[in-house]
Amino acid sequence: MQALIDVRESGAYLLMSVGGSGALRRHLAEMGLVVGKKVTVVKPASKLSGMVIFFQGQRLAISDEIASLLVVRPFAMDADTPAIALADLPLRQAGLIRTIKGDPPLRHRLMDMGLTKGTLVKIHQIAPLGDPIELAVRGYKLSIRKQDAAHVLVTEVTSDGDT
């Protein structure tokens, strides 16, 4: 993981944390810059100007000060990286959704709940008997059955940013 200001190449990145004061974090969250969002660096920062990112369908210029408060990791879903079932992800571990298997009604129901390809999801809690699983996804908590979670394949995201 690295600060957004340290990014030297254009490309897609996943926002892992937002620093700064509470008011600044709230302001950035209102704009949609929250943990788990994908941002694309269009123009890396240079000494003469800030950086330009593509986010939620629009270009956004970011000052060096704000870019230094945003921690990102490269957003890549390589075919080489092994995918595991969401049900097998350990407690408090995060993962990027790669695909959703199963019959169409199940896939549609899971996607309607916000579980879509490229979304960051974290195992928040597991019930005492192992079912259901509480997930943190898109800023809210969601409980799903372990049987349904087995159909969601994720790439594990470790704390140091490696997949």
Between 81 and 65, name the one with better pLDDT. Answer: 65
Name 103's Cβ contacts closer than 8 Å, sequence gap at least 6. none
State the pLDDT at residue 158.
62
Mean pLDDT of 89-115: 90
If asked whether residues 125 and 61 sit together in one domain, one would say no
Give a yes or no: residue 163 inside a domain.
Answer: no
Give a yes or no: residue 162 inside a domain.
Answer: no
Q: To the nearest whole number, what is the mean pLDDT of the chain?
A: 85
Please say which residue of 56, 74, 92 terminates a domain.
74
The pLDDT tens digits of the residues spanning 126-151 come to 999 888 999 998 888 999 999 999 99
How many domains is the chain partitioned into structurally? 2
Please say which residue of 40, 74, 108 terminates a domain.
74
In sequence order, what DSSP letters do the residues of 60-108 get, joined into one string?
EEE-HHHHTTEEEEE----SSSPPEEGGGSPTT-EEEEEEE-S-HHHHH
If asked whether residues 68 and 98 sit together in one domain, one would say no
Give a yes or no: residue 129 inside a domain.
Answer: yes
CATH no. for residue 104?
Answer: 2.30.30.90
Helices marked H in the chain: 22-31, 64-67, 104-112, 146-149
Q: Check whether 83 has a pLDDT greater than 90.
A: no
If asked whether residues 112 and 61 sit together in one domain, one would say no
Q: Specify the 3-state DSSP secondary structure of 14.
A: strand
Mean pLDDT of 80-108: 88
If asked whether residues 70 and 90 sit together in one domain, one would say no
Q: Residue 34: which domain range?
A: 2-74
Please say which residue of 17, 51, 74 terminates a domain.
74
Give a yes or no: residue 79 inside a domain.
Answer: no
If asked whether residues 112 and 147 sit together in one domain, one would say yes
